[in-house]
Amino acid sequence: MNFLPPRPAAPGRPKDPEKRAAILEAAMALFPARGYDGVSMDAIAQQAGVSKLTVYSHFADKEALFAAAVTECCEQQLPHRVFEPSLDQPVHEALTAIAHGFMDLIMDERAVTLHRMMVAQAGQNSRLTEIFFTAGPRRTLQDMEAFLRQANESGSLHVPKPEHAAEHFFCLVKGIRHMRVLVGLCPIPDSDERRAHIAEVVELFVRAYRPAERESAMRAKPAMPARDRRIRP
């Protein structure tokens, strides 16, 4: 049986990227503010300053728009390129950049509100929470796994299970502070607090996944006499 190649789609009117961006910005503002069920495609269109037909020309339905809005929010704070550092960038520096982007993402007011909304929806709309997880957290985890696999190949880290290490890294960055923020027990940390926390997390992570040969060299180094074990300037 011969299978003919699919016919190319008929050329249509090119979509306006500026209108698409406006629709996504409207969605990112309205979904956290009103909740998923409280937002209509009409409201999105009005907020974006476009017609409802234009919204549907870019996004098939509200679920597709919600997923795209979550992905766009992640991309703005933690762009994909952060997980693809230059070849000469030290792994410590690359991890620090990833951690700062992730912290900016999870502590963004829209993201905090959206997380609260997803927790509230967990027992009511599993379809929505799955869309959220796939468009946001899963995408970020996959990017981190790819980064760690590349670090393995280059020899800058030794990570036996990148999929587990990716989860560990982000859980360390979130810490207990993120939960406290979500439940309203403390304010969003400022830049100095974030910087100090991230420095500790990255140092801990790099030590945990130090390449084997470097670890062996560290162990082979003779211990200092007890009287010399003091912090030196």
Report in angstroms the alpha-carbon separations of 27 from 43, 45, 194.
9, 9, 28
Tell me: domain 17-59, CATH 1.10.10.60, correct? yes
| 78: three-class secondary structure by DSSP | coil
Name the burial class of residue 97, with classes exposed (0-12), middle (13-18) and buried (19+) by CB atoms within 10 angstroms of its CB.
Answer: middle
Structure tokens at 165: 């290490």
In the chain, ranges of CATH 1.10.357.10 domains: 77-211
In the chain, ranges of CATH 1.10.10.60 domains: 17-59
pTM for this prediction: 0.81
**CATH homologous superfamily, domain 77-211:** Tetracycline Repressor, domain 2 (1.10.357.10)
Residue with tokens 């810490």: 175
Q: Which residue has the higher pLDDT, 16 or 214?
A: 16
Percent of the chain residues topping a pLDDT of 90: 72
pLDDT in tens, 126-145: 889 899 999 999 999 999 99
Let me know: does 133 contact 71? Beta carbons within 8 Å.
no
